[in-house]
Structure 1
């Protein structure tokens, strides 16, 4: 199996930093099904290319099938496409050799990690249960230009037609982390099978890899179902967690009759937005900055309420703002709402005069995405420079994580979280910050306030002290 990733970024050699692999070295790594090699066939001033070559051990592949319900006499154990076509085995290989890159970390050159750069991907043999049309449906919404070439079943017998494989070429401007996680998820989705047993761990893998983009994908139901082997319980678990981490309503993701949806408890994402809006109203805020607005989940609620006369959505990610523009339907938004809404690209850790002079700044599920050493910079940006009358901060309560059965112990709710605080840790931080910058602070639970572990989300409302 072969996959190549190329870039023509200003300094193509920077791809080595992003992948944590030296372009001057060929490396090999052992997997349960064979050996994966990382090679650099091209490193020039114009373009760099890394190749991932997976050599599958057919004997190990057969041995690994025991106990999974396959017939021990099935010829398919010995005659199949697994060693040759991109599938879940190649996804596992990507996760093995590019694990750190897929998390978006680049310790040596941190400024590179969040940059969208020109990328090209080539997968010469990709099985597609759905054909080229499905490949387009899966990759195009993520910003890729997609080119597929059908592979003949037998070049010597044209009458047999096309095989279920395509030669895939992708080109687009994305972060390397996004490109890798999308390939990691979507290759086995297109194949619609996995070479290993699909267990509850797969939900965690899907959340880690797809949490940043899956909820907004128009084919999210198909992706989730296929990735999880069509196991209904696992799919429902993934649906709930996507709603939690990506601000996507459960109703838009889950199948089933309407009466079943209505009987479910309100998703935490809804409770969180309602709590923030209620706090803004109690603070009397009219002009609001949603700092770290992401794809616009809170903005939709704010701009729909005429009590908020100016709403500014701010995010460091250009792609997130593009998605927010689409999800908010700015091109069709009524003029009375559009005039009150502004989207800005900026960072929460750098001073920006455009953020100053407003009634309130909202940091909804933002601080846990900031490295702890950078948190003082965020505090200065918001409390010292912007100096709004009110600041609203929500963040997960790590004590409540034990109430999520599918979340392994010690695991955070999102792959991009740098930390998750207990109630005491959050209150100590908020109290110190308030005292340092002339604010008073109060705390409110969001979601059911469990008597043992507290609420799933904690909210701090800061108000500037007069004088």
Structure 2
């Protein structure tokens, strides 16, 4: 699958500064399912074009369980070749900084609308040319759709593969985020497990354009692979007045992922309850939630009378805004002034504002860090702050084989930088405990498989040394 982005802004080679990729070199990014290659077919002062080619390993995709159920389906499919959620993941890995709108050397240019052209091919367009235009033209893109003949077309059926060409003036980050969201929408599928954290990703990538898009509801529903409960949550945050109460029923389509089958209690609910119970049993009176996101754990803890002081820390200001609304801070009916404090910060940097708490929680946080950043987190949390109790949860990679719509070697979420097996988690827990003077108890969370364990693994660290 192939994506190219070009500009005629002068000097056009400034595109290299925006993409953080030098035009004279080939750039390679390893992915769980293959590799992404970025290179420049053309680079001069008048026009510069960067291409991202995704090389997916088709054999690796069928090792273990994937979304397909039949042997033939596993090998005869377009996943390694057609633009899909694989390409969206590659964008976040290979062009993450460009997508954020940051440029160390050309920040003013990153914030400027410049002439841009983009080509994506082959692109599955389930909905045809009309849908392609309905998605991109309201965003200001001049859209060209060229059908690609396939086996179905030769048999008399219309092909749903196209080459998409876009042209217009926009910030580069806007173009990349439009493609990130709308490519899997056109494919109407995803290769990885979709859960509640995917809602936050959609809102972040759709910020500033999705809420007013005329096809907003369709985009949300398809992006979340027809998970109606998740779609309703996303729409409630985008446009609360449009959400209908009859839209809350969870999708039950085959292969929709674990959440669709988790009744009556979803995995995230079980995880939160387990963490709350561990904190309650610890006797802690003050708790910091590191990587608190939109405040789901804090919302549960604020109802607990034993908690005297709560602190939420997150590096995303938008998530803290949602946490403020969820917790009704400084509103009638909200917690007393001073009981809950939200801080913009990171668990990898020392922050005296939350040091001295009795307990810290890291719920589904560590897997979002590069592994080489873990020592910094360990030093800050266990070495400097040193709370009496630290509760850590993370996915159990062993269990991934049981998710029917998760490709082999893929992570549950594209923002995960690693996922540990039970043995790897145990080794990390033991090393941290020995290094910093903690003992730890491990517990499974969720439905327990005899061979593969539970979907989530939790460690409760207790400090033994001063």
TM-score, normalised to structure 1, is 0.60
1:19 matched to 2:19? The reply is yes
2:452 aligns to what? 453
Offset at residue 394 of structure 1 (A): 0.3
**Alpha-carbon shift at residue 336 of structure 1 (Å):** 3.1
In the TM superposition, 1:325-344 aligns within 5 A as 325-330=324-329, 332=331, 334=333, 336-344=335-343
The Cα of 1:343 is off from its aligned counterpart by 1.6
1:349 CA displacement: 1.6
CA shift at 1:293, angstroms?
1.5
Q: Which residue pairs with 2:30 in the alignment?
A: none
CA contact (8 A) 2:293 2:319 kept: yes
SS at match of 2:202: coil
**1:118 Cα offset (Å):** 2.9
- Any residues of structure 2 matched to 1:50-449 within 5 Å, and which? 92=83, 100-103=90-93, 118=111, 120=113, 176=173, 180-186=176-182, 189=185, 202-204=190-192, 213-214=201-202, 222-226=218-222, 234-236=225-227, 239=230, 255=247, 257=249, 264-330=263-329, 332=331, 334=333, 336-449=335-448
C-alpha distance in 2, partners of 1:303/1:42?
58
Contact 1:400 1:454 in 2 (8 A): yes
Q: Does the 8 Å CA contact 2:229/2:251 hold for their aligned counterparts?
A: no
Structure 1's unaligned 5+ residue stretches are: 28-35, 44-48, 55-90, 137-145, 152-165, 229-233, 244-250
Task: Answer whether contact 2:316 2:344 (CA < 8 A) is retained.
Answer: yes
Q: Distance in 2 between matches of 1:253 and 1:4?
A: 44
In 2: Cα distance, 1:105 partner to 1:17 partner:
12
CA contact (8 A) 1:393 1:460 kept: yes
- How big is the shift at 1:167? 8.5
Distance 1:168 1:333 in 2: 47
Q: Deviations over 1:97-136 (max 9, x none)?
A: x9755226679xx9x699996364767899886999x889
TM-score (norm 2): 0.60
User: Match of 1:79?
Assistant: none
By relative contact order (CA 8 Å, sep 6+), the higher-ranking structure is 2
Write the distance in 2 (CA, Å) between the matches of 1:374 and 1:53.
30
Aligned-pair distance for 1:204?
3.2
Give the direction of change, closer, same or farther, for the CA distance of 1:369–1:130 in structure 2 (3 Å limit). Answer: closer
1:404 positional shift:
0.3
Q: What is the CA deviation profile of residues 207-266 of structure 1, one whole-angstrom value per residue up to 9, with x for unaligned ones? A: 8x96652268768753243458xxxxx5249959x99xxxxxxx9999465999998241
Q: What are the Cα deviations for residues 324-360 of structure 1, in whole angstroms up to 9, with x where unaligned?
A: 3344454536453453222212222222222310011
Please state whether the residue corresponding to 1:289 is helix, strand or coil: strand
CA contact (8 A) 1:438 1:465 kept: yes
Residue in 2 aligned with 1:82?
none
Size of the aligned set, in residue pairs, is 363
By how many angstroms is 1:422 displaced?
1.3
Number of the residue aligned with 2:72: none
Distance 1:459 1:14, change over 3 A: farther
Indicate conservation of the 8 Å contact 2:6/2:48, yes or no. Answer: yes
**Shift, 1:403, TM fit:** 1.1
Partner Cα distance (1:94, 1:15) in 2:
24
SS at match of 1:353: coil
Corresponding residue SS for 2:444: strand
Query: Quick one: distance in 2 between partners of 1:378 and 1:405?
Result: 33
Can you list the C-alpha shifts for 1:30-78, whole angstroms capped at 9, x where unaligned? xxxxxx98766879xxxxx976799xxxxxxxxxxxxxxxxxxxxxxxx
After TM superposition, give the deviation of residue 444 of structure 1 in Å. 1.4
Q: How far did residue 180 of structure 1 move?
A: 2.1
- CA distance in 1 between counterparts of 2:217 and 2:175 reads 20
SS in 2 for 1:300: helix
* Whole-angstrom distance in 1 between the partners of 2:103 and 2:323: 22
